[in-house]
Structure 1
Amino acid sequence: MVGGSKSVSTDRTTGRKIKISQEAVVVGISVALFLVFSVVLDKFLSEGNIIALLKNVSILGTLAVGMGFIVVGRGIDLTMVAVMVVGVAFSIWITSWGIDFTLAVLLGALLVALIGLFTGIMIAFAEIPPIFATLAIASSVYGAGRFVFASDVLYAPNNVAWLKWVGSGTVLGIPASVIIFGVVTLVMGVFLRKTRFGRLVYAAGDNPNAARTMGLPTRPIIVTQYVISALIAFTAGLIMTGLVTGINTTLYSSSLIYDVLLVVVLGGIGLSGGQGGVRNVVVGTILVGILTNGMTILNFSYTSQNLIKSVILLSALAIDAIINPRDEQTSQSGDI
């Protein structure tokens, strides 16, 4: 199954069954929230706020694309924020050795790819459940980064033209960060839907045991997924660095990873695997972005915002468990 979660109701006048997708419900809620905030909040429709909303959504959405890719394959990746901050911080840190920043970024990409490779091997070959493997690796990566960098905040060189464009450039009035998010989304959408590897990810996520029985290379698929996820997280980190001219490694301790999970689950990518896609990520990103922006304008405290989002995430997980029940194979393999 490659579509979003759906529920079925019956039209009493015709007796015909009507399929209502979770994606459609989320779109409807997003539109309603946008209209309410537009009327109630004076600053919501201001140019500055809309641009800020779009830029924040680009970071969250890019991370969610990587997470969605992993969840479709019946996994989870809690290393994404750690990989993002440590990978970019490493790139900035080695520029102090006289290395050109662009080359440093390539070396940072190599580092995060190796972390993703190690994560994938631990899950695919050592068969450690993803939630435990990624949680432990995330903590280790962040701890090692803090030890090496000896600083919470690292600032990128201010003379890098392409990084300035990422932070403040526009194309036809659209922020460059949003364009990058759009490109990542488009590429991943085509990759999942139109390539053989993408179809293998869906097959392995839908029924891992059947995929192995059919001779599909499930272990290499898992490893490749985590490498790609790490590189997508690194891309999100570069977007953030362009926007704020640096990276704050303490972001690892924030609720960002839970926001990413909230986007994925709300959008309709079931944790049971084998369904959903980047379109679900986009609608989930829009909803969470609008909700967070509105709460910020309303002066909700950071704690209050996290509480509200946590309740929404718990509700979404409960609904997902009902709509996409965990099968016997899922329970045995300990997928998350």
Structure 2
Amino acid sequence: MTVLGMPYKLDRLRQGDLGAWPVVGGLIAIAVVFGSLNEHFLSPENLTNLVLQMAATGTIALGIIMVLLLGEIDLSAGSVSGLCAVVMTILSVRHGWNPVLAIVVAVLVGSAVGLLHGVMHTRLYMPSFVVTLAGLIGWQGLLIYLLGQGGTINLPFDGFIAGLSDTWLPPWLAWLLVAVLVGAYAAAGVITRRLRVAAGLPVKPSHWIALRIGGLAVLLAGAVVVLSADRGVPLLLVIFGALVIGLDLVLRHTAFGRWMYAVGGNAEAARRAGINVTRIRVLAFVLSSTLAAFGGILAASRLAAVNQSSGGSDILLMAIAAAVIGGTSLFGGRGRTYAALLGILVIQSITNGMLLLNVDSSVRFMVTAAVLALAVAIDSLARRGSAR
């Protein structure tokens, strides 16, 4: 048995693999700067609003990560999110469908759009940039056509869909959820370590695993305490967190996840190893559009309406920026779903802090661009260090 200790971590740092530390450092700096400039920034009320703001775009960013892992891009995610939200709203409001059934159909529409994009990319050999750029324009046009002359459809404030963004966990359920998550994480760490020891594989020291479990417990408990000081833990955060954790488990502990990383790292080597590269690429686009549909539904729930700007504005750019800032490589083969959570936290924190300070939106865009450029620079340096 080999124990992976501090020397192993230092070797990874020397190779340029900084992990999530730059993003965590950035979040701490943002909290310190905006917290000192405006005392309301770190208040429970503002942090709760921050969580609500990031759920929809963060979910879309999760889908972007799926295609970025393959070194591809999806420029249609914003339009697809708006289109699926409109489909759901039309079925629910105008045709009186059951809201759950309307959501299911909207998600299936998103999956079908992703399948079309994937087939066009893999069978017609069209670059993903062109395919999804056409989708960005075309699906936005279909959205406007479906809305008709009215341009806006409101959702019932007391309905199921709008209620998704206005539902708060009772304190006992929030703490139970924390206990379950920490317990599951600890059990998974112990079981994984024992299996690796039995197989003669290198493992991390026990104190490192205990430190990570304790850190997760403190982080989750702190979040519950802060959010409970306002309205409580929002259901939107639970949904977003479940998607992040679920997709991370799929990518790290299933054959499909390993194939995704293999294709993104070296498609030709993956093909020679017997992996169906075409199928993996198609599924990545399906996942991207499906998650975009989920994001659009969450956005419609929070606004209790859909209109011609649904999925538009800077949603796509913020989703891509969140994925990259969180640590997903633009060159494929490296990234975690937690990148969406960290990245969208950075972007929404910057946006929220500047709004509190009444900073002009032009400055906000420039600051976000600088953070994005810095993230890409770190990614490029990491690749160079890894190659050496």
TM-score between the two structures when normalised by the length of structure 2: 0.75
Task: Please say if residues 87 and 111 of structure 1, whose CA atoms lie closer than 8 Å, have aligned partners that are also in contact.
Answer: yes
2:44 alignment counterpart: 47
Distance 2:71 2:354 in 1: 32
Distance 1:319 1:249 in 2: 37
**RMSD of aligned Cα (Å):** 2.2
1:248 to 1:302, Cα distance in 2 relative to 1, 3 A: farther
Task: Please say if residues 272 and 324 of structure 1, whose CA atoms lie closer than 8 Å, have aligned partners that are also in contact.
Answer: no
Listed as ranges, the gaps of 5+ residues in structure 1 are 1-7, 11-15, 326-336
Deviation at 1:190, TM superposition (A): 0.4
Distance 1:108 1:34 in 2: 37
1:144 alignment counterpart: 142
Distance 1:20 1:123 in 2: 31
2:84 alignment counterpart: 87
Larger Rg: 2
1:21 to 1:102, Cα distance in 2 relative to 1, 3 A: same
Task: Please say if residues 9 and 20 of structure 1, whose CA atoms lie closer than 8 Å, have aligned partners that are also in contact.
Answer: no
Distance 1:164 1:149 in 2: 19
Is 1:126 matched with 2:124? yes
TM-score between the two structures when normalised by the length of structure 1: 0.86
Distance 1:102 1:320 in 2: 41
* Partner secondary structure for residue 324 of structure 1: helix
Is 1:246 matched with 2:245? no
Deviation at 1:302, TM superposition (A): 2.6
1:206 alignment counterpart: 265
Is 1:268 matched with 2:330? no
Task: Please say if residues 38 and 45 of structure 1, whose CA atoms lie closer than 8 Å, have aligned partners that are also in contact.
Answer: yes
AA matched with 1:72:
L
Seq. identity, %: 25
2:63 alignment counterpart: 66
Structure 1 stretches of 4+ with a deviation exceeding 6 A read: none
Distance 2:307 2:48 in 1: 22
Task: Please say if residues 81 and 292 of structure 2, whose CA atoms lie closer than 8 Å, have aligned partners that are also in contact.
Answer: yes
AA matched with 1:64:
A
Deviation at 1:24, TM superposition (A): 0.3
Deviation at 1:164, TM superposition (A): 4.0
2:22 alignment counterpart: 25
Distance 1:170 1:287 in 2: 24
Deviations 1:146-200 (A, max 9, x none): 1221244322234433x24411111232111111110000110001001111111
Deviation at 1:223, TM superposition (A): 1.0
Deviation at 1:66, TM superposition (A): 1.2
Out of 329, 340, 345, the position equivalent to 1:286 is 345
1:111 alignment counterpart: 109
1:194 alignment counterpart: 253
Is 1:234 matched with 2:298? no
AA matched with 1:289:
Q
Deviation at 1:19, TM superposition (A): 6.1
Deviation at 1:134, TM superposition (A): 0.7
Task: Please say if residues 69 and 229 of structure 1, whose CA atoms lie closer than 8 Å, have aligned partners that are also in contact.
Answer: yes
Higher mean C-alpha deviation, range 66-75 or range 101-110: 101-110
AA matched with 2:309:
T
